[in-house]
Amino acid sequence: MNINIDQLKKKIIYRSNYRGNKEMDKLLGAFTDKYINNLSVENLYSLEKLLKFDDDVLYNFYNGLPTYLEIEENYVNLLFKNFKFNGRE
């Protein structure tokens, strides 16, 4: 399987910053900017999978609220859940 890491990163960056909800754009954009260059290929795919959830699910997951969909526990998801966003990043 031929993996183009740069193309995958660009896809993730775009999806993180253009979600349709300004607050989630900022949160996910800051999270992605901080960690994308330090993630393994496996973790990049986990991040891509996380970004497929809608904003309400991700907001609830991030804030420790119940979600109607189950999000698996993996390195990236726990990193996101514990990410400290100050709103100015």
Residue 29, domain extent: 16-81
Residue 73 lies in a domain: yes
Fill in the amino acid letter for 51. Answer: L
Token pair in block for residue 9: 């990163």
Domain count along the chain: 1
* pTM summary value: 0.90
Token pair in block for residue 24: 């989630």
Residue 23 lies in a domain: yes
What is the average per-residue pLDDT within 50-58? 95
Q: What is the pLDDT of residue 86?
A: 82
Q: Reply yes or no on whether the pLDDT at 1 is more than 70.
A: no
Per residue in 4-49, pLDDT (tens digit) is 999 999 999 999 999 988 999 999 999 999 999 999 999 999 999 9
Residue 9 lies in a domain: no
Q: Please, are residues 5 and 37 in contact by the beta-carbon 8 Å criterion?
A: no
Residue 7 lies in a domain: no
